[in-house]
Amino acid sequence: MSLLLGIESSCDETAASVVKDGHIVLSSIVASQDELHLEYGGVVPEIASRAHMERILPVIQEALKTANVKLEDIDAIAVGNKPGLIGSLLVGVAAAKALAWSLGKPLISVDHVVAHLWAPHLSDASIEYPALGIVVSGGHTSLLLLEDPTRVTCIGKTIDDAAGEAFDKAASILQLGWPGGQRIDEAAAKGNPTYPLPRPKTKGNRPDFSFSGLKTALLYGVRGTPTKIDGKMVFPRSANELNEQEINDWACSFQHAAVDAIMNGVYFALSNNPVRCVIAGGGVLANSLLRTKLKAIPEQFHIPVHLPELTYCVDNAAMIAGLGTHLFMNGHRDSLSITASPRGIAS
């Protein structure tokens, strides 16, 4: 039996979790900072790291209390130390080191992007490798080949915006609010994919992604082609001139184009790499159309697809504790000299 405490603070969620045997979540506490960043339309790194400082200890205490375990009962402490916002990561890493040192327990560092692919393991302990991993989040759009949960090669990634970031920007263009992914998904459910938008592809024979052209096509489609006046881009119309149906149709058209772009990369990767299953993770896995398309893979490629439960799509610490457990059980230990890094395996 193993009991791990996981700590996550890579972006704008402060999270702690206690996981038993890598699969059984005894607690998963996530303090979201959405309300703090709302007025800026995106995550402000300085505000994020200050909020992590205020929340990290209460969140850890809450995770232990909910799991009904004491710090002494924990076998090891796992922390996401890369990739992410450096000021945010450092808060979680400092807390994890302090706990590991003061309790005399092992410290395990985990790559946040790879940990997203542990999320499906939290409800299914029978995943077989090698696997194709798909991480689609606010910070990453990555295709990974996994020999096992930790032997990972990145075979494709975005060359500009991440898919979640593109969803957030699309929501802002359509004045649907922030965080945008869910708003686009809701509006798309009431619309039709009537507007033509490009399915962005990168050149070469890697399944890389690009979303900035799609975002610009949406902006110009919604507001018209701009002209430069006194060095400023002036658009012929504003998004609030559109009626509700037009907004919903644009949201639906955008969602179809973005999901097609992701799926094209997935099909390319599956056609070129023999794997035993597909595993997916990240906030954009909450998207209804993406989930539907991924669920069709078994029919086309005759391998299973493992998707995370909706609770474990967005950033959480259960995935960190889970992957940490896999490393811990395989004898992995980190020293107290580990630090945080903005770059990881897939970035």
Binding interface with ligand KG4 (CB under 6 A): 11, 137-139, 164-165, 167-168, 179-182, 185, 282-284, 286-287, 314-315
- Identify which of residues 116 and 326 has a Cβ nearer to Zn ion in the complex: 116
The Cα 6–Cα 21 span in angstroms is 13
For residues 304 and 277, the answer to whether their CB atoms sit within 8 Å is: yes
**Strand duo 3-8 + 13-20: pairing:** antiparallel
- Identify which of residues 4 and 258 has a Cβ nearer to ligand KG4 in the complex: 258
- Identify which of residues 64 and 254 has a Cβ nearer to ligand KG4 in the complex: 254
Q: Where do the DSSP E strands lie in the chain? A: 3-8, 13-20, 24-32, 76-82, 107-111, 131-136, 141-146, 152-157, 227-229, 232-234, 277-281, 305-306
- Identify which of residues 22 and 282 has a Cβ nearer to ligand KG4 in the complex: 282
Please give the span between the terminal C-alpha atoms of the chain, in angstroms, as a whole number.
34
Bridge-partner residues for 227, per DSSP? 234
What does 181 bind: ligand KG4, Zn ion, none (CB cut-off 5 to 8 Å by kind)? ligand KG4
- Give the DSSP H/E element, type plus range, for residue 90: helix 86-103
Least separation in angstroms between CB 168 and ligand KG4 = 5
**Strand duo 76-82 + 3-8: pairing:** parallel
What does 92 bind: ligand KG4, Zn ion, none (CB cut-off 5 to 8 Å by kind)? none
* Residue 258 Cα distances to 86, 93, 140, 193, 254, angstroms: 28, 34, 14, 12, 6
Least separation in angstroms between CB 228 and Zn ion = 37
The letter for the amino acid at 205 is: N
Least separation in angstroms between CB 165 and ligand KG4 = 6
For residue 27, what are the contacts with CB-CB under 8 A and spacing of at least 6?
16, 17, 18, 62, 63, 64, 65, 66, 67
Least separation in angstroms between CB 306 and Zn ion = 17
Give the torsion through C-alpha atoms of 326, 303, 269, 261, to 10 deg: -100
What does 211 bind: Zn ion, ligand KG4, none (CB cut-off 5 to 8 Å by kind)? none
Q: Is residue 137 at the binding interface for Zn ion, with CB under 5 A as the rule?
A: yes
- Identify which of residues 144 and 219 has a Cβ nearer to Zn ion in the complex: 144
- Identify which of residues 133 and 180 has a Cβ nearer to ligand KG4 in the complex: 180
Residue span binding Zn ion (CB under 5 A) among the ranges 52-60, 136-144, 187-195, 332-340: 136-144
Count of residues that interact with Zn ion, criterion CB under 5 A: 2
Least separation in angstroms between CB 15 and Zn ion = 10
Among 208, 249, 315, 334, binds Zn ion (CB under 5 A): 315
The Cα 338–Cα 103 span in angstroms is 17
- Identify which of residues 29 and 74 has a Cβ nearer to ligand KG4 in the complex: 29
Q: Is the link from the previous residue into 304 a cis peptide, with omega within 30 of 0?
A: no
Residue span binding Zn ion (CB under 5 A) among the ranges 129-137, 186-194, 214-222, 298-306: 129-137
Chain contacts with Zn ion (rule: CB under 5 A): 137, 315
